[in-house]
Amino acid sequence: MRAAARLVARTDGRGRTVLAELRGEPPLLLRQVPGRDGGVTVYVVGGAAGPLAGDDLRLDVEVGRGAVVRVHTVAASVALPGRPGAVSRMRVRASVAEGASLHWLPEQLVAATGCAHLADSRVMVADGGTLLWRDELICGRYGEQPGDVVVRTTVDHAGRPLLRQSLAVGPDVPGWSGPAVLGGAPATGSLLLLDPARPAAPPEVDLGGPVAGTASRERPGAVARLPLAGDAATLWTATAPDADTLRQHLTPRLPGPVPAPT
């Protein structure tokens, strides 16, 4: 299956964001819901199961100067096996203009046994743009091992590289669950915050350990907060035993104009 969707946001001259274009094809169906603070909120609704191996999906997001857009999905995406030897692809291409803001906060990607999937995101943020970008991966459904998945995220800011991140998991990737990668955790993800009005947060690493007041019970997973060089950008990276704990790790409390993701 091949499908494409496109979202283009502009301002109306009165400080409110309007959608100049909103179109999609099954399974990439876009639905606008009431926004807040003059911005717009769009949900990606899956019109079919998958992605299945062999599917080729693309979503383009263009946020014009001064516009504010929040993108969510109504449910997790489950990458499933399909034709032998085939790979499913989900490509996201986004651009954020000066003074614009994009919050990309989809539900998790679940890598089912036997899948072969590539999730490839490329984002260009102009000088003065704001970006909140979250990726979450669950390695297999309950009680199963994952298929092969590559999650790749590329972000440029003001014409310069800001983030180049790639993670591969699955039976064809030696050592993916070992201590050098996920350390046996079945859930992992990252959250990037780029805000020219907010200085990058100082580095912090939490590797878990005993819960306060107990002798042995461990806090699951680990989370690292790292400022990115040369920009007002902070990257959170986390591992966790389940989707709920992962979401807690990737929901920092952010005071000021950028709300905490949900």
Q: Note whether residue 150 is domain-resident.
A: yes
Rounded Cα gap, residues 171 and 85, in angstroms: 14
Q: Note whether residue 235 is domain-resident.
A: no
Closest CA to 78 of 169, 24, 136, 141: 141
Model confidence at 262, pLDDT cuts 50, 70, 90, reads very low
Q: Note whether residue 211 is domain-resident.
A: no
Summarize pLDDT for 77-99 with one digit per residue, the tens.
999 998 888 999 999 999 999 99
Q: Note whether residue 86 is domain-resident.
A: yes
Three-state DSSP state, 162:
strand
Summarize pLDDT for 143-175 with one digit per residue, the tens.
899 999 999 999 999 999 999 999 999 999 999
Q: Note whether residue 192 is domain-resident.
A: yes
Mean pLDDT calculated for residue range 243-254: 83
Model confidence at 220, pLDDT cuts 50, 70, 90, reads low
Q: What is the pTM of this model?
A: 0.90
Q: Note whether residue 209 is domain-resident.
A: no
Closest CA to 231 of 252, 201, 254, 207: 201
For 137, which DSSP code? E
Q: Note whether residue 227 is domain-resident.
A: no
Q: Note whether residue 73 is domain-resident.
A: yes
Give me the number of domains the chain comprises: 1
Summarize pLDDT for 39-91 with one digit per residue, the tens.
999 999 986 777 888 999 999 999 999 999 999 999 999 999 988 889 999 99
Which range marks the domain in which residue 60 is found? 2-201
Give yes or no for a contact between 154 and 187, defined as CB atoms under 8 angstroms apart: no
